[in-house]
Structure 1
Amino acid sequence: MDKKILILILLLVNGLLINAQNKGGYNLKAKIKGVNPGDSCYLGNYFGEKQYVQDTAIMDAKGYVEFKKSETLPGGIYFIVLPDRSYFELLLDKEQSFSVETDTSDLINKMKVKGSPDNQQFYDYLKFIDAKHKQIKPLTDKAKELKEDTLKLKEIQEQIKEINKEVENFKLNFIKNNPDKFLSKIFLASKDVVVPDPPKKADGTIDSLFSYKYYKDHYFDDIDLTDDRLLRTPIFHNKLNNYISNLVLQIPDSISKEADQLIARTGNNQETFKYIVWFITNYSERSNIMGMDAAFVHMVENYYMTNKAYWVTPTQLQKITERAQKLKPLLLGKIAPNVVCLDSIGKKISLHSVNAKYTILYIWSTDCGHCKKMTPILRDLYAELKTKGVEVYALCTETDLDEWKAKVIEYNAPWINVWDPINMSKFRDIYDVYSTPIIYLLDKDKKILAKRIDVTQLKEFIEKLDKEK
């Protein structure tokens, strides 16, 4: 088949799918007292940790603003932003043609909804919450004034607890009576895990990790990862971020394992799959925790290089693949790639030829400001470290022989000094040199024990390694 014809067919099919999805569009009309005619209002939505503007409309002379387009909006929590930056939220799902009326003096309690039972229920809840908040506030203010463990304080705490219970019961009753509603999904997703009292072990003691394990194991019980509407709420990103950042052990194997388990729970929902893959890939790549790049490599190999990341362009895929392939040989536990460089008299010295219990690969530059501070510190440490079986393989990025030699003399650098002025060893690419200084700590077999750490951390790190042996 002719390629041009095939492309046209694909475009036609895609167009039909889009039109089928967008049939009906949205028509949101709001009468807002307190907004002047001619003022701009904005329709926006949550997505992940950000908010996005979807549409703009002008307030007319009768006090109405209307947002209307032929495209149906994906389900989620949306909001209308007013000229003074105040806003009110709306649920958009199956009902996308309705009207509301409110007043800037009290956007929630003066809200009236027409044509949307979902939003009527939503505002019944918001009004209920607002009333309970007004009950709790004076109690919390009073509690701050009282001393701890007083009878009055305990009475106030019980009152607050009772009000919070009313709120929780409101949500539970709504979920029970409306299990298929989007608002029920929101209530469920926002629930915190209720941890039972820890059981006693056979010896009568309490498992100190029970609460953590239970909380973590049940964290996503009520969050439907197959429902991408939750992406367009303020809840999903915060839940995911808290789980990965605070509940999962910050080691690459744990992050990778949890990523796979969460992604498997997205089912066939492309949007939640995409968001979780993107989030954990980005999280692991940007992490300052040493070794977390292993999780990044895992994500790329399992979800990008397998062509599951349908959203990336070929150019983006190539870049992220190249990045993972560059980092993989440099992961903790890997044998450091060998490089062969020259000393000051032109003799070849390979990294792997260094016979030492620990080898510090120190990549530095003569004109690097941080190198000028760290190299003298490393020199002062060297005498002590050498007694612990440490050798330094100092690879300079300088291309001027005289400049390099002068700096070696200035620093009185007593270790193995090498350079590669024309980059024949390709060390810049192999060791991902984009800044200096760079430190890799290797064991006797040249396995990477630590990398990109500060000179001041070396002594403590090596001492810790020795104690573990």
Structure 2
Amino acid sequence: MKKVLIALALFLSSFSTQAQSGYEITIDLKNCNDTLAYLTFYRFDKTLIKDTCTTIKNGRIIFNGKTKLPKGIYSLVSQQKSILFDFFIDDDTQKLQLKSEYGPNISKDLTALNSDRENEFFNYIRFLGDQNKAFMEYKQSHPLATKKDSLDLTDKQNELEQRIADYENQFINRFKGTFIADVVNLKTEKKQKDIPKKADGTPDYDVSYKYYKDNFWRNVDLKDEGMVHNPFLFNKLKTYLDNVVVKHPDSVCVEIDRILAKSKPETLIYKLMLAHLTYTYETSKIMGFDKVFVHLSDNYFKTGKAKGIYEDDDVVQRIIKRADKLKPLLIGAKAIDLSMIRAEDFPKMKAMGFEDAKNSEEMTKVFYKNVNEVNKMWVKLSDVKAEYTILVFWDVDCGHCQKEIPKLVTAYNEMTHEKKDVKVFSVYMQHEGDKYLKYIADNKLPFINVYDGAHYNNAIEKYDVYSTPVIYILDKNKVIKAKRIEAEKVKEIIQSLEKEAKKQS
């Protein structure tokens, strides 16, 4: 009998463990007529569906599963696919019972029947809503007619922010060590309560900024996978890199390394952050920030620290290949030399047979047959003597080029009139020489007008010319100072470079 009782006890213990390993979320929603509801969860910058209830009866919605839910912020989503409310799930709330009333008071009446901590989270959400509502009512009832009105509104906003900060700090301290406290901590911004003063009595914003930056990630555990399952991490990362860190690619690279070092390469949070950062800086429209993309390739993808981020391993190789292509074209790199043919020498090149060659083999034969003559005709980018060289790749038939090239002519003529030592190395990307010569004559292009007459350079690959026009600015040593800019910005950028050079001299 004793053995039977022991066996039964072990069985019941095993059964109990299995029963607790799953989840069950029961929501009683009064006056709910939906027949379908979704359980969704946050994952970095996305919202994903975790479960679906298709058997709603009398407003009772039940989601259940055999395995535990990951820690995170979850949402009840209606049949119309609108979020009704958020709640959190951790190890203590896998069996959760909620109730409310469908309609405008759904958040006000929201209650957890078996979790005091969940109710405190709901109180926090309601507090935020009440504070924002009060501020909006104040704003609507106080039109900004005078400067004093604007100052009063700013004071009111500061009061609101301080009340929220105080509430959040109390919440974090009260529930310290719990998942939801960590989530609220992730959301909060750690600003100094009182801005220190300089010796002359004015606010010392430099000290205030340093405090804000140094404390931005305070107590945020990026090794905790639960930090990726909420709506705050993505925005916090974006805010930090876009608005807090000094807007320079070198500074961004340093900060990215620090952030990723706080996580572990095998974790989901690490993989999602690295994938997001890679895409962000590969596609960045801010000049010079492709350097961050190259940095990520060199330090994470080439070193194996990006393993498992993409299901297709070929993606990693494509990223590396793309970064290697951009590396020689970064701001500060010396421009790749080009050996071109002057536009006016097109008839000579045509007579040699370059335009009649049908494939690379025939082209090679024509080249070596005329190599001595062609060698006398080269116009090299590196031989251009000027304080600044504008390198432009374009096409006569390109609609955008037809708008940009005249603007570049105007900018060049203005700079020449101002005695600036500037030249334009104008590279036509096609081989229709007659059309090119006509355009030069009709528009009086005052540039060094060249083209790849000997099919020698492959400028498309060398300079990543996947569309035209593409404009680079080089200094007197042919170092890239600006790239992929609009023609109307050329003069302004050169003026800025001149001012910078004067400061350094």
Q: Please tell me the TM-score bracket, short chain as reference.
A: 0.7 to 0.9
Shift of 1:247: 1.2
Shift of 1:173: 3.9
1:82 match: 78
2:398 match: 368
Change beyond 3 A, Cα 1:339–1:227: same
Contact in 1 for aligned 2:341/2:454 (Cα 8 Å):
no
Instruction: For 1:206 and 1:109, locate their aligned partners in 2 and report how far apart those are by CA, in whole Å.
Output: 41
Could you tell me the TM-score, scaled by structure 1's length? Answer: 0.84
For structure 1, the 5+ residue unaligned runs are 1-19
The answer to whether structure 1 residue 315 and structure 2 residue 314 are counterparts is: yes
Q: Secondary structure at the match of 1:209?
A: helix
The answer to whether structure 1 residue 348 and structure 2 residue 347 are counterparts is: no
2:3 match: none
Shift of 1:392: 1.4
Shift of 1:31: 2.0
The answer to whether structure 1 residue 104 and structure 2 residue 102 are counterparts is: yes
Which of these residues, 413, 432, 451, is aligned with residue 400 of structure 1?
432
The answer to whether structure 1 residue 233 and structure 2 residue 263 are counterparts is: no
Instruction: For 1:97 and 1:44, locate their aligned partners in 2 and report how far apart those are by CA, in whole Å.
Output: 16
1:284 match: 281
Q: Secondary structure at the match of 1:464?
A: helix
1:337 match: 336
Give the AA of the match of 1:394. S
Shift of 1:275: 3.0
Instruction: For 2:206 and 2:142, locate their aligned partners in 1 and report how far apart those are by CA, in whole Å.
Output: 32
Give the AA of the match of 2:384. V
The answer to whether structure 1 residue 452 and structure 2 residue 452 are counterparts is: no
Shift of 1:425: 0.7
2:369 match: none
Which stretch of structure 1 is more off in the superposition, 435-444 or 94-103? Answer: 94-103
Give the AA of the match of 1:103. E
Instruction: For 1:368 and 1:142, locate their aligned partners in 2 and report how far apart those are by CA, in whole Å.
Output: 54
Shift of 1:56: 1.7
Q: 1:58-111 CA deviation, whole Å, 9 max, x = no partner?
A: 243343222223343321100011135241212112132333222113222333
Give the AA of the match of 2:61. V
Contact in 1 for aligned 2:265/2:271 (Cα 8 Å):
no
Which of these residues, 26, 36, 39, is aligned with residue 23 of structure 2?
26
1:259 match: 256
Which stretch of structure 1 is more off in the superposition, 302-311 or 407-416? Answer: 407-416
Shift of 1:49: 3.0
Q: 1:122-166 CA deviation, whole Å, 9 max, x = no partner?
A: 23444555666677776666556998869xx89x969x94x8777
Which stretch of structure 1 is more off in the superposition, 347-356 or 437-446? Answer: 347-356
1:17 match: none
Give the AA of the match of 1:392. V
Instruction: For 1:334 and 1:431, locate their aligned partners in 2 and report how far apart those are by CA, in whole Å.
Output: 12
1:8 match: none
Shift of 1:182: 1.1
Change beyond 3 A, Cα 1:338–1:149: closer
Change beyond 3 A, Cα 1:268–1:293: closer
Aligned-pair Cα RMSD in Å: 3.2
Change beyond 3 A, Cα 1:116–1:370: same
Q: 1:376-411 CA deviation, whole Å, 9 max, x = no partner?
A: 232233344344221211111112222222222222
Q: Which has the larger radius of gyration?
A: 2
Which stretch of structure 1 is more off in the superposition, 40-49 or 126-135? Answer: 126-135
Q: Secondary structure at the match of 2:420?
A: coil
Instruction: For 1:157 and 1:414, locate their aligned partners in 2 and report how far apart those are by CA, in whole Å.
Output: 60
Shift of 1:24: 2.5
Instruction: For 1:357 and 1:125, locate their aligned partners in 2 and report how far apart those are by CA, in whole Å.
Output: 61
Change beyond 3 A, Cα 1:205–1:111: closer
Contact in 2 for aligned 1:46/1:232 (Cα 8 Å):
yes
Instruction: For 2:426 and 2:336, locate their aligned partners in 1 and report how far apart those are by CA, in whole Å.
Output: 15
Shift of 1:456: 1.4
Instruction: For 2:460 and 2:148, locate their aligned partners in 1 and report how far apart those are by CA, in whole Å.
Output: 64
2:69 match: 73
Instruction: For 2:145 and 2:488, locate their aligned partners in 1 and report how far apart those are by CA, in whole Å.
Output: 48
1:357 match: 387
Instruction: For 2:147 and 2:492, locate their aligned partners in 1 and report how far apart those are by CA, in whole Å.
Output: 43
Contact in 1 for aligned 2:100/2:107 (Cα 8 Å):
yes
Instruction: For 2:129 and 2:412, locate their aligned partners in 1 and report how far apart those are by CA, in whole Å.
Output: 65
Contact in 2 for aligned 1:360/1:393 (Cα 8 Å):
yes
Instruction: For 1:421 and 1:26, locate their aligned partners in 2 and report how far apart those are by CA, in whole Å.
Output: 70
2:352 match: none
Change beyond 3 A, Cα 1:164–1:281: closer
Change beyond 3 A, Cα 1:200–1:171: closer
2:41 match: 45
Which of these residues, 378, 386, 411, is aligned with residue 443 of structure 2?
411
Change beyond 3 A, Cα 1:118–1:461: same
Shift of 1:227: 2.2
Contact in 1 for aligned 2:73/2:88 (Cα 8 Å):
yes
1:182 match: 179
Contact in 1 for aligned 2:23/2:68 (Cα 8 Å):
yes
Change beyond 3 A, Cα 1:177–1:360: closer
Could you tell me the TM-score, scaled by structure 2's length? Answer: 0.79
Change beyond 3 A, Cα 1:358–1:87: same
Contact in 2 for aligned 1:356/1:390 (Cα 8 Å):
yes
1:12 match: none
Shift of 1:301: 1.1
Instruction: For 1:331 and 1:260, locate their aligned partners in 2 and report how far apart those are by CA, in whole Å.
Output: 20
Q: Secondary structure at the match of 2:21?
A: coil
Instruction: For 1:234 and 1:190, locate their aligned partners in 2 and report how far apart those are by CA, in whole Å.
Output: 9
Contact in 2 for aligned 1:21/1:72 (Cα 8 Å):
no
Give the AA of the match of 1:241. K
Change beyond 3 A, Cα 1:120–1:196: closer
Instruction: For 1:21 and 1:307, locate their aligned partners in 2 and report how far apart those are by CA, in whole Å.
Output: 38
Which stretch of structure 1 is more off in the superposition, 446-455 or 44-53? Answer: 44-53
Contact in 1 for aligned 2:390/2:422 (Cα 8 Å):
yes
1:378 match: 408
Shift of 1:222: 3.5
Give the AA of the match of 2:331. L
Change beyond 3 A, Cα 1:378–1:51: same
2:365 match: none
2:374 match: none
Aligned residues: 444
Change beyond 3 A, Cα 1:365–1:108: same
Contact in 1 for aligned 2:265/2:306 (Cα 8 Å):
no
Q: 1:249-307 CA deviation, whole Å, 9 max, x = no partner?
A: 22111111111111122256723322332333233223222111111111121111111
